[in-house]
């Protein structure tokens, strides 16, 4: 029986038992329904308008949920879930939310049928472990020496649901080139792909097909003054995080001047301090100075005379990336332990050349041939801002997926193949168990079919028929030893048929699928454990006392 009565010792209202569960499930369902229609190669986009009228057009699950202001505490768990998936894998944000909501819905039905939540939770946990094991052992295919073809296919699969799917051949090549050019080997001999070294710059004009890959890290700002050279080679780079403006007295420092002639000396000294600082930088041989703060006109004069490039107001993030790529150290102050001002040459970074170029209407500074990691930039062209933003989101997902594929070497077939296979496998597993968890595992198996169902519905195909065919194939694959190859049968959503997606090149990194199942299960369990909700109201009497 649900108690919604006000208890005298709790200020607020308390709901417990089935009421809360149903409420949480409904909230999560509604969040999942928002992103449901954007799943798959024929998914539709959402237009989000915020309170000041800024428009975002996207079908990236994490972006949609981030822009929505979700009030309900249980639904917030799903929003965080999408963000986690975005951070960990980079793609699959929509799927993870849909699956988690479906798990919850099914679990709620079981609770209504008098099955204790604890039994459901242990069943879900068992199903999750078995599912991940099955993906790793049976469904994932090791990519032999990672041919370029499979990387391109992974990138294309990731882009298939995005705005740029029509040009996916072109962009997949760009993405694979970009990720492979930032390859590094760390001290332990592991090959890593630091995708932070890929800078994405958006420039208006031309068509999407005119986007290109630039070898070098591009900064979206120009030189600070026109008198500076537009190219220096070889470049020695200083990264600063302070002002190169006329030194002012600190706040609260008062200077009492008795002799007006002394005043001019103080002014002169203030000007000289900045000049000395700049000379200290030049002594180390630096000829490119990047600062995240300002440089005033008086200081610019010295840079122009020295024939160096100075760039002001560089984004902190860019500054860190440049420092990492060139081997520089970001210097936040000149002060040393003795209280003197020094600038050490060890904090200088190196690059083959630094050059200013014009891209559409903007000047950009390119750092080429950096010392540590090779940095590349993707210059995106497109008709308008919405298009460019969505292209950037799509490429971010594709870049993450290619990185994951390269680092884990395992891929699985896409298009609902994994979910259908797991569903069949777990259903068979459930029938072998004689414990209460059996029902939970059966529901878990059923829930996974939501992905092929939604994919088919979004493609305007008959989902019942397609999912039935798909399950039949996977059942055969798992029961007959000579039909193993059928385990990669997935949906072809353009034709509305079932095909072998491994051969068709619709593939995803296995890690992405495993993480989706793990995260969705964890999130569902978190919400399922809640059986009591107490909303506190502000205590009015305290406010009166204040």
Which residues are catalytically annotated?
Answer: 60, 93-94, 397
151 close to 406: Cβ distance less than 8 angstroms: yes
445 close to 478: Cβ distance less than 8 angstroms: no
* Rounded Cα distance, 508 and 488, in Å: 12
List helix spans (H) across 409-509: 417-432, 437-448, 450-458, 463-479, 501-504
Q: Is 116 exposed, middle or buried (0-12, 13-18, 19+ CB in 10 A)?
A: exposed
Give the H or E element holding residue 386.
helix 385-408
* Rounded Cα distance, 341 and 197, in Å: 32
Tell me the pairing of strands 231-232 and 349-359. Answer: antiparallel
Instruction: Look up residue 207 and give its two tokens.
Output: 């068509």
Q: Is 97 exposed, middle or buried (0-12, 13-18, 19+ CB in 10 A)?
A: buried
Beta strands in 293-447 (DSSP E): 309-311, 330-331, 349-359, 362-370, 376-382, 410-413
* Rounded Cα distance, 504 and 160, in Å: 13
Q: Is the dihedral of CA 538, 542, 544, 546 positive or negative?
A: negative
């Amino acid at each position: 029986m649900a108690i919604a009565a006000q208890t005298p010792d709790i200020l607020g209202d308390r709901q417990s038992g089935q009421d809360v569960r149903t409420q949480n499930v409904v909230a999560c369902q509604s969040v999942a329904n928002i992103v449901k229609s954007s799943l798959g190669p024929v998914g539709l986009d959402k237009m989000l308008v915020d309170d000041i009228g800024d428009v975002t057009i996207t079908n990236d699950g994490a972006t949609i949920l981030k822009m929505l202001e979700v009030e309900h505490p249980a639904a917030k768990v799903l929003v965080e879930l999408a963000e986690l998936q975005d951070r960990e894998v980079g793609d699959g944000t929509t799927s993870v939310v849909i699956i988690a909501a479906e798990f919850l819905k099914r679990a709620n039905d079981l609770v209504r049928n008098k099955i204790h939540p604890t039994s459901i939770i242990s069943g879900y946990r068992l199903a999750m472990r078995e599912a991940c094991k099955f993906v790793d052992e049976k469904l994932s295919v090791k990519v032999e020496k990672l041919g370029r073809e499979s990387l391109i296919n992974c990138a294309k699969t990731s882009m298939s649901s995005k705005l740029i799917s029509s040009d996916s051949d072109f962009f997949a090549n760009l993405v694979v080139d970009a990720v492979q050019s930032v390859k590094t080997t760390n001290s332990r001999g592991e090959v890593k792909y630091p995708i932070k070294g890929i800078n994405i710059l958006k420039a208006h004009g031309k068509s999407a097909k005119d986007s290109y890959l630039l070898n070098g890290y591009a900064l979206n700002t120009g030189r600070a003054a026109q008198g500076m050279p537009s190219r220096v080679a070889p470049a020695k780079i200083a990264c600063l995080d302070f002002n190169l403006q006329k030194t002012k007295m600190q706040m609260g420092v008062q200077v009492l001047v008795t002799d007006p002639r002394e005043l001019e000396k103080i002014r002169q000294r203030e000007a000289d301090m900045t000049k000395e600082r700049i000379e200290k930088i030049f002594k180390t041989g630096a000829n490119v100075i990047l600062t995240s703060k300002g440089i005033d006109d008086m200081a610019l004069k010295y840079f122009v005379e020295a024939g160096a490039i100075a760039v002001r107001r560089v984004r902190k993030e860019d500054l860190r990336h440049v420092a990492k790529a060139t081997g520089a150290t970001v210097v936040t102050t000149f002060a040393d332990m003795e209280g003197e001002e020094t600038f050490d040459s060890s904090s200088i970074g190196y690059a083959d050349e630094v050059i200013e170029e014009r891209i559409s209407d903007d000047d950009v500074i390119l750092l080429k041939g950096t010392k540590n990691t090779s940095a590349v930039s993707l210059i995106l062209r497109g008709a308008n801002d919405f298009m460019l933003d969505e292209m950037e989101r799509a490429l971010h997902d594709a870049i993450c997926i290619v990185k994951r594929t390269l680092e884990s070497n395992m891929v699985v077939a896409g298009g609902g193949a994994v979910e259908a296979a797991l569903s069949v496998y777990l259903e068979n597993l459930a029938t072998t168990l004689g414990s209460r968890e059996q029902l939970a595992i059966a529901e878990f198996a059923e829930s996974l079919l939501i992905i092929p169902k939604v994919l088919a519905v979004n493609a305007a195909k008959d989902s019942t028929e397609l999912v039935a065919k798909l399950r039949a194939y996977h059942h055969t694959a798992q029961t007959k030893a000579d039909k193993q190859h059928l385990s990669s049968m997935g949906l072809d959503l353009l034709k509305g048929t079932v095909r072998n997606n491994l051969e068709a090149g619709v593939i995803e990194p296995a890690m992405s699928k495993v993480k989706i199942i793990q995260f969705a299960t964890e999130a569902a369990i978190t919400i399922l454990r809640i059986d009591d909700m107490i909303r506190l109201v502000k205590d009015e009497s305290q406010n009166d006392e204040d």
